[in-house]
Structure 1
Amino acid sequence: MPEGDTVYLTGKRLHVALSGRSLVRGELRHPRLVEHDLAGRTVLDVASVGKHLFTRFDDGRSLHSHLRLDGSWHLYRPGMSWQRPAHQARAVLETAERTAVGFSLHDMELLPTGEEARLVGHLGPDLLDPAWDETHAAEALRRFTTRRSSELGLVLLEQRVMAGLGNLYKTEVCFLLGLSPWTLARDVPDPPAAIALARELLLRNADRPQQSTTGELARGRQTWVFERGGQRCRCCSTRIRTAEQGDGVYARIAYWCPRCQPGPSPRPVSPRNERRRPSPVGDERRQRW
C-alpha cells in the first residue's frame, strides 16, 4: 500500500493540474457511481488526509478515493495514450489542459464536502498536514501512549494513532530508533522522538517520487533495512532478518538488524551474529538524522 508521502504527492499534482478549472469530462466508472456526471463542475481543491484523497467541487461535493494496493492517479495531456488499460479506469476528470485518470480505485465515494470527517474523522493526526503544530504532536503522543501493550511496529502502522506511515517507514523508523519492531510501546524510551522522526522522514520525501531514509537516492542505497532481508546491515554487517508482524490481512513483513535493534523478536538472535564486531551504528544514524 502506498505510503502517506506518495498519496500527498499525488494530491499535490492533481491540485496543480485541476484546481480552479472546469471539467469538460467527469466520468465516474465505479459501479456505485456510474450514474454521476461531473462535467461542468469546477475543481476547487485536491487534498490528502493520511492515505485518503479528496477532490472537492464547486457544488459542495467531494470525490473520495483511496489507492489501496494497486490504485493510482495518472495525469495526461488530452489525447495522450494512457499507460494502463482503459477497463481499469474508475475516474476520468478532464479539463481543457489536463486529464486525470484514476486506475483501480476500489474505494470511491461522492459525498458532501462537509461530511468528509465521516471517512477520516477516526484517523490520528496526519503527519503531512501543512498545519501540523504542537497540538497535532501532542494528540499523536496521546494516542501512541494508549497503545502501551502493542508492538511498536504495529503502533506505527496504526492510522488511528497517526496517519501516513506504511511498512517502509515503519521499518526504517524502528531501525533509526535502534529498537526491535516487537518492542512494546510502553518500553519505547522516547515516544515524542519516534513521532518526530516519522514526520521528518515523510517530509523529506513528500515532494519527490523517490523515497529515501538514508539520504541517498542511488538504486539499492535508499533504505537501511527495508526490503534488504538477508543482506548485510550497512552499519554493522550483521545479516538483516525478516519475519511477519501482525495478524491476517494486517500482517506485514518486518525487516530488522538483530544487532542494531536489540529487543524482543520472533526468534532468538543467533550466537554467530552476536559475535560480530561492534559497530558505530548509533552514532552514524544520529549524524544522518
Structure 2
Amino acid sequence: MTTETETDPETDLFEEHRPVLMGVAYRMLGRVADAEDVVQEAWLRWSGADRAAVREPRAYLVRVTTRLAMDRLRQIKARGESYVGPWLPEPLATDVAGTAQDAEQRAVLADSVSLAVLVVLESLSPLERAVFVLREAFGYPYAEIGALLDRGEAAVRQLAGRARRHVEERRPRYEVDPVQRRDLTERFLAAAAGGDLAGLMALLAPDVRLVGDSGGKSRAPLRVLEGAGKVGRFLVGAAEKGVADVAFRLLELNGGPAVLVLSGGRPDSVFQVDVAGGHIHAVYIIRNPDKLRLLAAA
C-alpha cells in the first residue's frame, strides 16, 4: 500500500517519457488535442502491459505512440474530412529558456515544428511522416526506426529519403535568426495594428504570402493571399474593422515569436511571420477558436 507521499514508479517512468511522446504525436498530427489523445491512449496501453516483457520502456512507448498516431492519421484521411479554407497546425507553446544550449535548441525546434514544415508534412503518407519525424526530429537510427515500425532497414532508408526529398522540395527556406525575427514581428505588429500601409509595405517581401486559418468559424481569407499589395491592404482593412477591447501579447509558438491577439481578455487570433533577407515572406493567421482553446486555458 502506498501513502499519499509515495508515487507509482510506472507512472513516474511514463511521465519521464511524456515530453518525447507528445513531441512525436504532435509532429505526426499537427494537432495538440489529437496528440494528447494519442498519448493518453499510450498510457492506457502502458498501464495494461506486461512490464516483465518490456525490456526498453522508451522504445516501447515511442513505438506505441507512433503507431497510434499513424492510425489516427489514416482515420482522418479515410473520413476525407473537408476543412473550410487553408489549414494550419494548432499552435504549440515551445518556450525553451535558461540553458547555454538555448540558441541551438531553438534552431532545431523551429525547424521541426514550424508551421511551414508541419503544413508540408500533411502531404506525406502516415508511414512516411512517421519515418521522417523519428529520423529528422529525434535522430533515431534507421535500424531502430525499422524495429519500431516493423520494417527492414533498407526500406526505412528508402522511405526516409523519399520523405526528405518531398519536404525539401516543398518547404520554403526561411532564416531562423531569433533576434531579427522577433524585431520584424514587433515592427509588423505595430504597423498592422496601426493600419500603417506604408510601414507594412516596407516590411513585406514582394512575393509575401498570407495564410489564414479559420476553419469557417471566424473571419479570415478563404484563399492564400499573395503579393505585398494584397497582403498589406488586407491587414490594413482588418485593423480598420478591429475587435473590441483588444490587447496583444508576444509569446513563443512553434519555435518562434508570435503575437496573440486578445479580445475582451479571450484569444481572438494568433499571428506569426517567417522572415528572410530582412523582410517578411509569410504571414500566418490562426483564428479557428478550436485551435486557440489551449491558449484560452493558459
The normalised TM-score by structure 2 is: 0.26
Which structure has more relative contact order (CA 8 Å, sep 6+)? It is 2
Identify, as 1 or 2, the structure richer in helix.
Answer: 2
